[in-house]
Structure 1
Amino acid sequence: MKVVSLSRDSEHRFSKETCDSLVFVKGLGIEGDAHCGVTVKHRSRVKADPTQPNLRQVHLVHSELIPELQNSGFKVEAGIICENVLTEGVDLLSLPRDTLVNLGSQVVLKVTGLRNPCAQLDNYQSGLTKAVLDRDEDGNLVRKAGIMAVVKEGGIVKVGDSISIKIPPEPHKALERV
């Protein structure tokens, strides 16, 4: 399990610029990223209530999603769907809420929920929103666009750093959109 790409953007644009390393700040998010802060920064959530806590400081996506989307004809690569951390070998969507994700030797993230795919995906490329949504065997909606987390311990993360996972004690709480 490892970090295969890192991205950030100081403005609220759809895609983020890839980089070799990121500075994670405890309780805030990623230094230099538009979503960094104690209170919510996502525009639609700011409009609803700008005082709510920022549960979306860091966006993680499993790298295995990229070739799946490419094989369906979408032009996507690292940073395109606004993720901060692209992981390899981690089943992010199956993690329970409050899971601790260790990136490298310093950074600890706490999983808060699922990213809810938004219309910006279709603004980038028609049909992309539908491509990151699926149904399980029971017909329940599956959001494949990654998970969100907050920074519990800060530090520097570099591409290639290892990832380790600490599942919280039971009973586990399923991920919901945040």
Structure 2
Amino acid sequence: MFDDLATFGYQISPGDIGENITTSGLQLERLPLGALLRLGPSAAVELTGMRTPCVLLDRFQTGLKRRLLNGSERPPYKCGVMGIARAGGPLRAGDKICVFLPGRDRARLPPL
């Protein structure tokens, strides 16, 4: 997302807009509710929803909220995701992330 925003002149670094963990190569917003992310050797986060873009983004950089809206595409905006830490552990830049999907009933992540 940061690379995409940079093409429109927005300079955002990891952590600037409230994220605790920054990933690359995963479309987290397309994962289902309840997906479990295994981070590093032992940490785990269960996805609970999509982080809805809010007005605070425009306070950070003017027009940023509108740039994150996708219109009729799914999901309706580019965003981060929210989750519950299910297990703790050390994390380092470059650690692998393994995704474990929930059972057959796979609901979309709700906006939060």
- Equivalent positions of 1:20-169 (< 5 A) are 65-137=1-73, 142-169=76-103
SS in 2 for 1:122: helix
Determine if the alignment matches structure 1 residue 177 to structure 2 residue 102. Answer: no
What do you get for the CA RMSD once the two structures are aligned? 1.3
Unaligned runs of 5+ in 2: none
Q: Point out the structure with the larger strand share.
A: 1
Go from structure 1 to structure 2 and tell me whether the alpha carbon gap of 1:141 and 1:159 turns closer, same or farther (over 3 Å shift): closer
1:136 shift after superposition: 3.5
Q: Is the 8 A contact 1:104 1:162 kept in 2?
A: yes
Amino acid at match of 1:113: G
Amino acid at match of 2:103: P
Q: Is the 8 A contact 1:115 1:143 kept in 2?
A: no
Q: Is the 8 A contact 2:29 2:75 kept in 1?
A: no
Q: Is the 8 A contact 1:114 1:143 kept in 2?
A: no
1:155 shift after superposition: 1.1
The higher relative CO (CA closer than 8 Å, separation ≥ 6) is in 2
Query: What is the TM-score of this pair, normalised by structure 2?
Result: 0.93
SS in 2 for 1:93: helix
Alignment size in residue pairs:
112
1:134 shift after superposition: 0.7
Amino acid at match of 1:153: A
Q: Is the 8 A contact 2:6 2:12 kept in 1?
A: yes
